[in-house]
Amino acid sequence: MTKTLFERIIDREISADILYEDERVLAFRDINPQAPVHVLVIPKQPLAQVEHMTPTDSPLVGHLFWVATEVARQLGLTGGYRLVINNGVDAGQTVYHLHVHLLGGRVLGWPPG
């Protein structure tokens, strides 16, 4: 099976501007930013979509959100930020490896879609 773009980043086959890494998670700047700050937080363990989660994935997904808040603090996003997970084609998911978008650095409009 072909590796996803994110698996290739995890394996260092593709370079990325990495902001955080631990044994479970990697956070790096998006190459096509939708806000002044746009970071992707991904699990190192492949999980295609949030809808494929099982109860055993809950600690990992919680860790993704914890890391996103830590990165937001490190980047000085004191005025606020948005965390987004796209699930499926209709939501705009293009890489089928679960990831959280951390968006900030400007006022973000609502509704988002």
46-77 residues labelled b (16+ CB within 10 A) or e (exposed): bbeebeeeeeebeebbeebeebbeebbeebeb
Is 38 part of the annotated catalytic residue set? no
Reading the block at residue 102, the tokens are: 């951390």
Q: Of residues 38, 52, 99, 101, which has the active-site annotation?
A: 99
Other beta carbons less than 10 A from residue 81's beta carbon: 21
Residues known to be catalytic: 99
